[in-house]
């Protein structure tokens, strides 16, 4: 859950207690006001995180467990903005609205594994691409190979489906999952300049910064999407990035609001 300025309640109080325990002078009153936001920003700066004043799971975990070397950093977003030649606030808005918030699983047997979502209908297409008849696999393992989307387990257990697909054909398995913070599909690996699907997957397992790099390559590879981001044309960007149903989730208005907020209070680097 993401806590932000204006929120109230027991979750905010717990955040404030964690901030106080970490040495930030703050009244524990259950209201996320300007002082709490300033303390959150200070904590994010201290732990080399994205400095956005939003208390998400990475910020709250850092207050308890310390700095995570895999976590996305402010300097990563600065570098992405420079590479794309767009405003830092625009990249921060996309990171806030379009990312999954966490690029790696926390806890359990898949602790530290990149977040994925395996797509069985893509697996069918990729097997055909690799000159493998998908029909026998679709008959025996319809949750792994199918002509229709679905079969999702969700969360860390998606890696079980990936492993089952890998037993059929390794590259096709990687190509059939979306990876990391920005849900980049593996079959884009060649278009994005990776040497192989396996190299792409290895990069996604290194850090959220590398996952951001894949997103940057994805934007660079689509001139219309890149142009929409440069112009802060959030309706056009959302339509191209999220698909024709983008209005259902108000992605364009959420991106515009996030951009305005970040443009008002930027930090160039952690």
CATH of the domain at 59: 1.10.101.10
- Considering the domain boundaries, does residue 42 fall inside one? yes
- Considering the domain boundaries, does residue 3 fall inside one? yes
Q: Cα-atom radius of gyration of the chain, to the nearest Å?
A: 20
- pLDDT confidence band for 266 (50 / 70 / 90): low
The boundaries of the domain holding residue 35 are 1-68
At 120-132, the pLDDT tens digits run 999 999 999 999 9
At 54-100, the pLDDT tens digits run 999 999 999 999 999 999 999 999 999 999 999 999 999 999 999 98
pTM of the model: 0.92
Q: How far is CA 97 from CA 106, 244, 252, 256, in A?
A: 21, 17, 10, 10
DSSP state of 230: H
- Considering the domain boundaries, does residue 14 fall inside one? yes
HSE (CB half, 13 Å, CA atoms) of 264? Answer: 7
- Considering the domain boundaries, does residue 23 fall inside one? yes
- Considering the domain boundaries, does residue 51 fall inside one? yes
At 153-175, the pLDDT tens digits run 999 999 999 999 999 999 999 99
- Considering the domain boundaries, does residue 19 fall inside one? yes
The alpha carbon dihedral of 6, 11, 14, 19 has a sign of: negative
pLDDT in the model for residue 107: 87
- Distance, CA of 216 to CA of 227 (rounded, Å): 13
At 23-58, the pLDDT tens digits run 999 999 999 999 999 999 999 999 999 999 999 999
- Considering the domain boundaries, does residue 103 fall inside one? no
- Considering the domain boundaries, does residue 202 fall inside one? no
As for how many domains the chain has, the answer is 1
């Amino acid at each position: 859950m993401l806590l932000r300025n204006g929120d109230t309640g027991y979750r905010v109080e717990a955040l404030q207690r964690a901030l106080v325990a970490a040495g930030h002078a703050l009244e524990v009153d259950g209201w996320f006001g300007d002082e709490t936001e300033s303390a959150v920003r200070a904590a994010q700066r201290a732990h080399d995180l994205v400095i956005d004043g939003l208390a998400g799971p990475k910020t709250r975990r850092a207050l308890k467990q310390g700095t995570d070397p895999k976590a996305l950093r402010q300097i990563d977003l600065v570098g992405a903005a420079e590479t794309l030649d767009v405003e830092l606030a625009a990249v921060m808005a996309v990171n806030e609205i379009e990312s999954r918030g966490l690029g790696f699983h926390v806890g359990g047997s898949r602790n530290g594994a990149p977040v994925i979502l395996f797509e069985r209908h893509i697996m069918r297409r990729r097997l055909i691409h690799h000159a493998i008849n998908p029909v026998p696999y679709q008959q025996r393992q319809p949750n792994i190979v199918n002509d229709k989307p679905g079969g999702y387990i969700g969360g860390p257990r998606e890696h079980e489906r990936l492993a089952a697909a890998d037993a059929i054909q390794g590259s096709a398995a990687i190509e059939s999952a979306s990876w990391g913070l920005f849900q980049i599909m593996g079959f884009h690996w060649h278009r994005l300049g990776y040497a192989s699907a396996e190299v792409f997957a290895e990069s996604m397992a290194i850090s959220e910064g590398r996952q951001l790099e894949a997103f940057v390559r994805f934007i660079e590879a689509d001139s219309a999407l890149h142009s929409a981001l440069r112009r802060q044309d959030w309706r056009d960007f959302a339509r191209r990035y999220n698909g024709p149903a983008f209005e259902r989730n108000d992605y364009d208005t959420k991106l515009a609001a996030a951009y305005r907020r970040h443009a008002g209070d930027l930090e160039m680097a952690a």
